[in-house]
Amino acid sequence: MVAIDYFDTVVLGGLLHDIGKLKQRAGVRERHQVLSKRFVEVLQLPAEIHRELLLELVERHHDRVDRPESLRLSQLSGYRKKLAQIVAEADHLSSGEREPDASEDAKRAAL
């Protein structure tokens, strides 16, 4: 059995999963996951990148019930779901750095 290396694909998914937010902020009214997927679809990718997996990782990095099932991470299975969970956790951690912590709020209140 040959092991397939998905590392570069997951890293690229982590980097590109929110690229569609740029178009949203420019006024395009569509879900950022869909816009991100469209961006990735036209990229020239190296052979070691698994294109279909990358598209899934970019499109399905959320699992909120207010999203269509076609965009939910929970609709994946097996290794694809586990890899999408890595991108989702990276998304969660990176968005958490933008949330002010209590000590920053206390500093602002003291001013």
Interval 88-109: pLDDT, tens: 999 998 887 666 555 555 544 5
pLDDT at 107: 45
- Quote the CA–CA distance of 41 and 38 in Å, as a whole number: 5
User: How do residues 34-54 score in pLDDT, each as one tens digit?
Assistant: 999 999 999 999 999 999 999
Average pLDDT over the chain, rounded to an integer:
86
Predicted TM-score (pTM) of the model is 0.79
- Asked if 84 and 8 count as a contact pair (C-beta separation under 8 A), the reply is no
Collapse the DSSP code of 72 into the 3-class scheme (helix H, G, I; strand E, B; otherwise coil) and give the result.
strand
- Asked if 60 and 82 count as a contact pair (C-beta separation under 8 A), the reply is no
- Quote the CA–CA distance of 91 and 19 in Å, as a whole number: 12
Collapse the DSSP code of 62 into the 3-class scheme (helix H, G, I; strand E, B; otherwise coil) and give the result.
strand
pLDDT band at 66; cut points 50, 70, 90? confident
- Quote the CA–CA distance of 84 and 77 in Å, as a whole number: 10
φ/ψ of 99, rounded to 5, equals -85, 125
